[in-house]
Amino acid sequence: MPAPFPFQQAWRGRCHASAGFTLVELMVAMTGGLFLSIIVFALSRDASRFYQRESRVANATLAGVSGFERLSADVARAGHLATPNIQQDPHVCNRPAAPPFLATLRALQIGDGTTARAGTELATANISPKQLVIAGALNTPEVLITSSIGPAAGGGWQVTLNLSTPAASRLGLTTDATKDNSAVLSSIFMAGAVAPVGRIVRLRANGMDQYAVVSGVAGNAGTAVITLAGAPALQRLTSGGTQCGIDDLGQGYALSVIDVVQYNIRSMVGNAAYADLFKASSGQGTGGVGTAPAYEAKRAELVRVELDSSGAPIADTLEIVSEYAVDLQASAWGATSATDPALVRLNATIDNTYNFTQLLRGVHLRLSVRSREADREGPIGVGGGSADIYRIGLGPSGGAPYARVRTFQSDIPLRNLEGGNW
């Protein structure tokens, strides 16, 4: 058999040399690939955690902005279609002595909200938030017109509304005799009323005001009748007496609905209406044993609730405005006096005993919210309280771990109080 050509020998040698990897080579390659996979997985995991963490911070910031805008809008409408200070207002005809909250009605009150913070991380961190009470036409800014006002059969007063006005139409009230206006009237005047105690209303004619409390509504057959409680009583015009009061017909009076809302920071973990939101908060709410971190159970929220004429919360009006709230602060400035419009910073407590609410001209608001999870091991700065909050400790004694805090602030002019120069 003839010997193979030289190129055939070279080709056979190359085939024999590249037949495959040895077991050692494969093990080295697989081990290196495994280490590379571990590194890539770790980087991916950390990147995912960082993204989720920053996403939670962004969500908390966005929710805080939304809540702050809601609060700012209500503060800006303080005193709208209402008195700045019912005890000092010279345009009030029937100055009420009761119910207690109506007797001390103010457009804006800034009080101490530390009582509401009980059991929350704010109390542990010694943060002292404020509480705001705002009065004005906040939910129903329309002005309705009366067609008659007279004594009611069982006491009090009966007001019949003129339903042919644009304001009545915008509110959904109709003159159609086949329709019933009771549901619309109840939502406007009696929402959440108990006993019953409805909302406060103002009646205005010739620049003079009278205040009353709604005790009932009726709107069958395309009508709209409101019953007012006997206290405070409305004043009638009298011959030779004061020219402040309701005339014989009570026609053409402007009627506005006064809403009173309270903002404060409190725990909502045990509130049954929000059980689904807190079901994982360390076993709070429903759903059995929780899986959330222990410090979640001490979280606090900025809430809004409507108050009736006695100052009691109206049922079914409590709502969360901003989650994970940490602090709420407010300071006011006002005119120096009724004759001096120069603005000064007010250091007095703006509560229901403050006699110069009509001179308020603006409010500086500051709302702080935290991220959902703690992501820092140390605080920023020293001291505690409500100044310069950058992080809040969520530990048992207010220490580590810490969550980042975002603060929103704004100066809000009180346009509805600019005419209060008395």
124 inside domain: yes
> Confidence class of residue 287 from pLDDT cuts 50, 70 and 90?
very low
Q: Is residue 38 part of a domain?
A: no
Q: Of 257, 275, 291, which marks where a domain is finished?
A: 257
Please, are residues 185 and 193 in contact by the beta-carbon 8 Å criterion? no
Question: How much is the pLDDT for 290?
Answer: 43
Number of domains in the chain: 2
Question: Does the bond joining 401 to the residue before it have cis omega, within 30 degrees of 0?
Answer: yes
What is the tens place of the pLDDT at every residue in 20-34? Answer: 778 887 788 888 888
Condensed to tens digits (0 to 9), the pLDDT of residues 245-264 reads 888 889 999 999 999 999 99
The predicted pLDDT at position 286 comes to 43
Measure the CA–CA gap between 268 and 266, rounded to whole angstroms: 6
How much of the chain, in percent, has pLDDT values that exceed 70?
84
Q: Is residue 13 part of a domain?
A: no
Q: Does residue 129 sit in the same domain as residue 249?
A: no
Q: Are residues 183 and 115 in the same domain?
A: no
Which has the higher per-residue pLDDT, 16 or 245? 245
Task: Report the mean per-residue pLDDT for the chain.
Answer: 85
Please indicate, yes or no, if residue 204 is contained in any of the structural domains: yes
Amino acid at 269: V
Residues 189, 181: Cα–Cα separation, whole Å: 12
Choosing from 257, 278, 300, the residue where a domain stops is 257
Give domain status of residue 79, yes or no.
yes
Distance between CA 266 and CA 381 in Å, rounded? 25
Final residue in a domain of this structure, among 212, 230, 257: 257
Average pLDDT, integer, range 159-186: 95
Q: 157 lies in a domain?
A: yes
218 and 332 in a common domain: no
Residues 380-411: tens digit of each pLDDT: 765 555 556 888 988 888 888 898 898 999 99
Q: 360 with 75: CB under 8 angstroms?
A: no
Q: 33-42, 166-175, 209-218: which has the minimum mean pLDDT?
A: 33-42
265 in the same domain as 245? no
The residue segments making up the domain with residue 61 are 56-84+106-135+260-417
The two tokens of residue 191 are: 């929402």
* Confidence (pTM): 0.83
Q: Which of 76-85, 210-219, 276-285 has the lowest mean pLDDT?
A: 276-285
Answer left, alpha or beta for residue 286, where phi above 0 means left and psi between -120 and 50 means alpha.
Answer: beta
The confidence score (pLDDT) of residue 259 equals: 95
Which of 167-181, 237-251, 265-279 is predicted with the least confidence, judged by mean pLDDT?
Answer: 237-251
In residues, how long is the chain?
422
User: Is the model's pLDDT at 141 over the cut of 50?
Assistant: yes
Q: Which of 285, 266, 289 is nearest to 277 (CA)?
A: 285
Cα–Cα nearest to 354, from 107, 167, 157: 107
Q: What pLDDT was estimated at residue 198?
A: 86
**Are residues 117 and 266 both part of a single domain?**
yes
The residue ranking higher by pLDDT, 296 or 205, is 205
Same domain, 296 and 348: yes
- Same domain? For 336 and 206 the reply is no
Residue-level pLDDT at 285: 42
Q: What is the pLDDT of residue 270?
A: 84
Give the contacts of 297 (CB within 8 A, at least 6 positions apart): 269, 281, 282, 284, 290
Residues 224 and 345 placed together within one structural domain of the fold: no
Phi-psi region of 255 (alpha: psi -120 to 50; beta: other; left: phi over 0): beta
Winning range, highest mean pLDDT, from 96-100, 209-213, 373-377: 209-213
In this structure, the answer to whether residues 252 and 265 fall within a common structural domain is: no
In a shared domain, residues 265 and 371: yes
Q: Is residue 291's pLDDT more than 60?
A: no
Residues 213 and 310 placed together within one structural domain of the fold: no
pLDDT tens column, 36-59: 888 877 777 666 666 566 666 677
**Structural domain includes residue 99:** no
Q: Summarize the confidence of residues 52-72 as an average pLDDT.
A: 79
Residue 311 lies in a domain: yes
Q: Which residues of 226-235 are buried (b: 16+ CB within 10 A; e: fewer)?
A: bbbbeebebb
Q: Which residue in the block uniquely carries the two structure tokens 């703690």? A: 374
234 shares a domain with 309 = no
Going by pLDDT thresholds of 50, 70 and 90, the confidence category of residue 5 is: low
